[in-house]
């Protein structure tokens, strides 16, 4: 990984249970891919009957906690483990790409920059063979051009990230895309309208999550107060034939069962 730990030498404590759950989630994704399942179709998004129907469905993990509860520290420890146990677990090796949204750094909130950063990391990771070759296609490259990518980040995300990944042979082990503070930059006060389909990193991810390859786990963190964002990532299970999105996270790692939100509180 290009960056180094944001903990900057500070010792990381506890949270073993979260890493354990994440390991389980990744194993679930790997198992999903090993059993046959239909892929989501970007070409026909309205007709994606397989999504949400079990195996291969798009579910992810949304880590919620209050300000200062340790979400960023946890993401950091996940990517750059500092403890022998963390290193041994090896979850950092399953990171396909990561992004830290920071309110004070507008570049990190730019959706076009987010997409370009993902593409660069996936290329450099070497985890997906053949991805770089797909990216060499001038038609694909055109979506990443400065200006173009900012104008239409959703199209760039589809053409340069999702479609190439969906066309690849799945890796032996599932991988994850980590986005810390996905709620940053979403000045969506409760009750306000969102800015459009892909106006923020959160909107881009929530709007396209059902088209993620089944071997790719979306792992995001957000403040629990950011209700608009947590809602964006959850779909009532009663809405049939829609993706579970990150509801599973809230359900599974979330307040209902195994990971009460309060557990991340100081």
Ligand X SMILES: Nc1ncnc2c1ncn2[C@@H]1O[C@H](COP(=O)(O)OP(=O)(O)OP(=O)(O)O)[C@@H](O)[C@H]1O
User: Which residue lies nearer to ligand X by CB, 137 or 265?
Assistant: 265
Q: Which of 37/66 has CB closer to ligand X?
A: 66
At closest approach, how far in Å is the CB of 208 from ligand X?
24
159 binds, among Mg ion, ligand X, none (CB under 5 to 8 A by kind): none
127 contacts: CB under 8 Å, gap ≥ 6: 96, 171, 175
Which residues contribute to the site for Mg ion (CB under 5 A)?
71-72
| From the list Mg ion, ligand X, none, partner contacted by residue 13 (C-beta under 5 to 8 A by kind) | ligand X
**Degrees (nearest 5) of the Cα angle 257, 180, 168?**
90
Instruction: Give the integer Cα–Cα distance in Å for 56 and 263.
Output: 29
CB of 97 to ligand X, least distance (A): 19
Round to whole Å and give the CA distance between 241 and 209: 14
Q: How far is the CB of 7 from ligand X (least distance, A)?
A: 6
Q: Which residue has the tokens 């939100």?
A: 261
DSSP 3-state percent helix, strand, coil across the chain (nearest 5): 45, 10, 45
- Here the tokens at position 120 are 């660069």
User: How far is residue 143's CA from residue 156's CA, in Å, rounded to a whole number?
Assistant: 5
For residue 223, the partner it binds in ligand X, Mg ion, none, with Cβ less than 5 to 8 A by kind, is ligand X
Residues lying near ligand X in the complex (CB under 6 A): 7, 10, 12-15, 65, 67-73, 181, 223
Closer CB to ligand X, 9 or 126, in the complex = 9
Q: Which does 70 bind (CB under 5 to 8 A by kind): Mg ion, ligand X, none?
A: ligand X
Choice between 100 and 131, CB closer to ligand X: 100
Cβ 208 to Mg ion, closest distance in Å? Answer: 23
Residue nearest ligand X, CB atom distance: 70
Nearest to ligand X of 184, 203 (CB atom): 184
212-240: burial string, b at 16+ Cβ within 10 Å, e else = bbbbbbbbbbbbbebebbbebbbbeeeee
């Amino acid at each position: 990984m290009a960056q180094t730990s944001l903990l900057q030498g500070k010792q990381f404590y506890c949270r073993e249970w979260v890493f354990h759950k994440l390991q389980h989630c990744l194993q679930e994704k790997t198992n999903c891919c090993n059993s046959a399942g239909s892929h989501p179709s970007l070409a026909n998004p309205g007709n994606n009957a397989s999504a949400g129907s079990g195996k291969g469905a798009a579910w992810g993990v949304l880590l919620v906690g209050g300000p200062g509860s340790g979400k960023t520290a946890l993401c950091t420890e996940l990517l750059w483990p500092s403890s022998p146990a963390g290193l041994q677990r090896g979850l950092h090796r399953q990171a396909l790409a990561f992004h830290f949204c920071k309110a004070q750094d507008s570049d990190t909130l730019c959706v076009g920059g987010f997409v370009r950063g993902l593409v660069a990391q996936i290329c450099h990771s070497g985890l997906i063979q053949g991805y770089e070759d797909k990216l060499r296609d001038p038609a694909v490259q055109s979506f990443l051009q400065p200006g173009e990518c900012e104008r239409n980040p959703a199209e760039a995300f589809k053409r340069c990230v999702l479609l190439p990944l969906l066309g690849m042979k799945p890796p032996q082990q599932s991988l994850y895309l980590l986005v810390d503070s996905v709620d940053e930059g979403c000045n969506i006060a409760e009750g306000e309208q969102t800015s459009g389909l892909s106006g923020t990193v959160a909107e881009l991810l929530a709007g396209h999550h059902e088209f993620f390859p089944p071997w790719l786990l979306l792992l995001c963190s957000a403040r629990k107060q950011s209700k608009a964002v947590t809602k964006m990532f959850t779909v009532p299970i009663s809405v049939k034939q829609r993706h579970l999105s990150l509801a599973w996270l809230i359900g599974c790692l979330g307040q209902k069962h195994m990971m009460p939100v309060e557990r991340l509180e100081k």
